[in-house]
Amino acid sequence: MYAYILSLTGQNSQKYKLILHFVPLVIIYLLLSDFFILPPEKKIFIYRNGGDKYISFKQNINALVMVSGVLYVSLSLLSLRKYKKEISGQYSNTEKINLNWVYYLIAGISVIWFCIIFTGDIITFISVVLFVLFAAYFGITKAGILNLTEIKNYNAIKKEETIVSPVSVKYQRSLLNEDTIQSIYTKLVYKMDTEKLFKDPDLNLDHVASLLDIHPNSLSQTINSIENKNFYDYINRQRIEEFKRLSVLPENQKFTILSLAFESGFNSKTSFNRNFKKYMNCSPREFLKNQNSDLK
């Protein structure tokens, strides 16, 4: 699962390091080589007698399984957290690429690990079967798992960015003094006010940077320095403000809340509600009620 997440999120640039994770498994198999060459009846005898002379070895393996389970679940969660932080700095809408569904897979793997350690073979087998059925059903019904085009596009962009020398990027960022940052921010605000770039649901950092003719790192640093936000939060705040403006106009009272949310640049009801509550500390309906709006 950990290797899958690294591959899915484009964090496996040094693939040879993944091989190191299989070293303990190879060592275990080597230590059990004498068991593997035993005749079948001897293997059955050892299994029925709880491991026979392999009891202490089995206990050590169980301890390693417990440690590795906690370790790899933790590493998987940390990798997802890192990925979500990265895409928040690149995209204004992350619904299609946030990989929230992976948390269900991690939870399923954790349950199986728990069953392996603390329960018998039957319960473990049942948990594995249920997990496979759940994963199959989830994979078929949830397009986000099978259609990974958006994530592949993100990884492709990420690979292109790694071509840029880290040293050059470092110096480029260091050259941004207060005046430069303020100049970039002024251009950004002007673009947002006049062209309402935030209305594009697929708006991303690279596109805005290209419109301003600056490096994406410079734009990201500018937003972070002045707004104290990442790109995702900055753009969605603009969308919330646009929704508030549209919702009080008399000519818009015939529209629904969701239609105005889409008009403001959001691409899903979930994203709109979550961001609105984050910035306004109330739901859209509660806000409109206080504004005496007739939107539904």
Please give the pLDDT value at position 170: 41
Residues of CATH 1.10.10.60 domain(s) within the chain?
165-290
Rounded CA-CA distance 134/49 in Å is 35
What is the DSSP code (8-state) at residue 204? B
Predicted pLDDT at 48: 76
Which tens digits make up the pLDDT trace of 116-145? 878 888 898 898 899 888 877 776 665 455
Residue listed under structure tokens 């709006």:
293
- Where are any strands of DSSP class E within the chain? none
Topology, domain 165-290: Arc Repressor Mutant, subunit A (1.10.10)
Token digits of residue 63 = 């301890």
Does 147 score more than 80 pLDDT? no
Reported in sequence order, the residue ranges of 110-242 that DSSP labels E, i.e. its strands, are none
Q: 145 near 101, Cβ under 8 Å?
A: yes
Distance CA 159, CA 214 (A): 19
Tell me the C-alpha distance between 201 and 94, whole Å: 10
Is 169's pLDDT higher than 50? no
Tens digit of pLDDT for each residue in 152-161?
A: 555 555 555 5
Decide which of 135 and 233 is more confident.
233
Dist CA 226 CA 65 (whole Å) = 48
Residue 205: is its pLDDT beyond 50?
yes
Terminal CA-to-CA distance of the chain, rounded, Å?
43
Which element (helix H / strand E) includes 24? helix 23-31
Do 209 and 216 meet the contact criterion of CB atoms below 8 Å apart? Answer: yes
For residue 195, is pLDDT > 90? yes
Given this model, what pLDDT does residue 167 score? 39
- Alpha-carbon distance 130 to 17, whole Å? 32
What is the pLDDT of the chain when averaged over all its residues?
82
- What is the pTM (predicted TM-score) of this model? 0.69
* Winning range, highest mean pLDDT, from 36-50, 169-183, 264-278: 264-278
Q: How far apart are CA 218 and CA 209, in angstroms?
A: 8
Tokens standing for residue 112: 């199986």
